[in-house]
Structure formats: C-alpha cells, structure tokens
Amino acid sequence: MLTSRKRVRALPLTVVSVLALAGLTACGDAGGSGSGGSGGSGDKIRVAASFYPMAWLAEKVGGTDAAVQTLAKPGAEPHDQELTARQVADVGRAKLTLYVKGVQPAVDEAVAKHAKGDKALDAASVVKTLAPPAEDEHAHEHEHGAEGHEQDHGGAGSDPHIWLDPNRMATVADALGKRLAVLDPAHAAGYQSRAAAVAKQLTDLDGQFKTGLGACKQKTIVTAHAAFGYLADRYGLKQVSIAGVDPSSEPSPKRLGELTHEIREAKATTVFTETLVSPKVAETLAREAGVKTAVLDPVEGIKEGSSDDYLSVMRKNLDTLRSSLECK
C-alpha cells in the first residue's frame, strides 16, 4: 500500500514573507529557476509561473521579451510543494504571476500576499471550470461528460486541472497575451502574435484528440488521481480515479474493492499510472482487476533531462488512450 506523502514546510509563511520583502531589495536579479533558462535581466518583463504547464505557456507567449521564473521544482509533483524565501520574493518581484488557483496552496498564499490585482493571472478564471470530484467513497462514480456540469469561471470550488484540455489552454494563451501586452506595451505586438501562434497549436492538438478519440470501444479511464476530468469532459470519456484531486490521498481497502468491481463492470483494460507519483497502488489495483497498466501523464512536471514538452507529452497521452480504449 502506498504511504501518503508527508507535507513538509520549508518555513512558516509569516517568516517567509518577511524574508521575501527583504529580498525585494537585496536579491537583485537572483530568482528561482527558470524552466528554459536563467532568471533573466535587463528590460525583460519578469513572469513567475506556478508550475510546468504555466511556465511552458508563459515562455511560448513571452518569447524573448519575458524572463520566466518557475516556482515548482523540475520533475517533482507540484501539489504539496512549499516555496522558499527566494521563490516568494520572485512572486513579489514579478510583473505578473501566472498560476492555477487550487493546485499549489503555497503559491495561492504568496499570490494573495504579494501579487494582488493585475500582478497575477489565475488561468482558471478565464475558462469555464468543472466542479471538483466529491471526496467520499462514491466520488469516482461521477461521470464528466455533460456540459451541464460546467460552471462559469474557476475558483476554490472548481477542479483546477484545466491544462489537460488543450482548448481551454488556448483560451489561457489568448488571455496571457492580452495581459502581457497591457503590462509591457512596447512589446505588445510580439505577445499577441505569439499568443495567437500557440493558441493555434493548442487548437490543432484539440482537433487531434477529437479525431483520435472519436470512435473508441472503451470510454472509461481509470486514473491514478482525479486529474483528467477536463480531458474526459472534452472528449466524451468517463474518469474513474483512485485518488482525488490531491494525488497524495490514499483510498481505503473498501474503495479499492469498489474500484476493482467498477473496472470489471466497465470492461476497462487499463489502470493508468503517472510519471511523478508512485505507481504502487495503481499496480496493485490492476493486479486485482486482472488488467494492464500504462502511463497517462497529467503534465504537471517534466523530468529533468527529458526533451519532451507540453505538446509532445499530450500527443503521447493521445496515443496511449487510443491503444488502451481500443479506438479506430
């Protein structure tokens, strides 16, 4: 059985806040690690990105006009990560922080304290969001497929995993381009043209998913945690998840028995594991149900040294789904 991960705080945020405010004047250009280079300097606009999907989007839209700081550790699962004093300072120094409220509580807190108003863009606030899955034992019987489950504009009460729908990511790209154009009007044309270009890539990816998953024998995806609600909603699938929105939550033996029954009833062929979370529980469930495992990546981080990016990982996910769901 998987042991739940312990939440370890680097520093109480009250202390971090004091250090961060001091860092605004003392740290100069020393920032958090960028997902594609150093922190940046000179006339480039500073953008703090909460974790990999937001950093990828910020770098695509910001281009050579922006210096992007990533607040999550490379290759680490971001939900429980705490911020160092320097990273809180990065939020305070940044002209804009791009994040998804509800994914990283430490980032939410830093934004609330140091990046109010136009200094922050919650990606979930510019798209239609889904209600989070219920956290009780029967949570995973809920099917994400009907537009009626959408609610306007995200927040604390919504499923935060919006980046797993390329169509919603295209909307965020457009909103980011507009926000950067306002904050840095000298480079407005560049932000807007790059935003349009990446939105086109994401729209094309959305079309590939629609075509690729349009005629599948299976519709149920059994996932390690409830990260794929938006993908299921967009492409007419049903998500059955082992853990809830937080991948560290552990199912009870009773719930594992229910999941085994659900897998058999749905005639599902695969239990999906993840790249950044221990596969032990998923592998145990697959053995009990007599099915195989495969990796379905929630794109919450890229392992160090990998040549993949958001687009390539999502295309691998499509190939995995097509094989596992027996799509034509």
Q: What is the pLDDT of residue 243?
A: 87
State how far Cα 60 lies from the chain centre: 16
Number of C-alpha atoms within 13 angstroms, CB side, residue 19?
15
Identify the segments of the chain with pLDDT beneath 70.
1-42, 134-156
No. of helices (H) and no. of strands (E), the chain: 10, 10
- Separation of alpha carbons 192 and 180, rounded Å: 8
Segment 76-127, tens digit of pLDDT: 889 888 999 999 999 999 999 999 999 999 999 999 999 999 999 999 999 9
Helix segments in the chain, DSSP class H: 13-26, 52-62, 85-93, 105-114, 166-183, 188-212, 229-235, 253-266, 280-289, 310-324
Collapsing DSSP to helix, strand or coil, 245 comes out as: coil
Segment 169-201, tens digit of pLDDT: 999 999 999 999 999 999 999 999 999 999 999
Q: What is the pLDDT of residue 108?
A: 97
Label residue 76 exposed, middle or buried (CB < 10 Å: 0-12, 13-18, 19+): middle
Q: What is the pLDDT of residue 326?
A: 96
Q: What is the pLDDT of residue 232?
A: 97
Class of domain 214-324: alpha beta
Number of C-alpha atoms within 13 angstroms, CB side, residue 93?
30
Q: What is the pLDDT of residue 24?
A: 38
Q: What is the pLDDT of residue 42?
A: 63
Give, in order, the Cα–Cα distances in Å from 62 to each of 35, 90, 104, 170, 173: 13, 17, 23, 15, 10
Q: What is the pLDDT of residue 134?
A: 66
Q: What is the pLDDT of residue 175?
A: 98
Could you write out the DSSP letters of every residue in 50-88? SSHHHHHHHHHHHGGGEEEEE-SPTTS--TTPPPPHHHH
Q: What residues does CATH 3.40.50.1980 cover in the chain?
A: 12-126, 214-324
Segment 78-91, tens digit of pLDDT: 988 899 999 999 99
Q: What burial letters (b/e) apply to 137-154, b meaning 16+ CB within 10 Å? A: eebbebbbbeeebeeeeb
Q: What is the pTM of this model?
A: 0.82
Give, in order, the Cα–Cα distances in Å from 157 to each of 105, 124, 125, 131, 151: 14, 11, 12, 7, 10
Tell me yes or no: is domain 12-126 CATH 3.40.50.1980.
yes
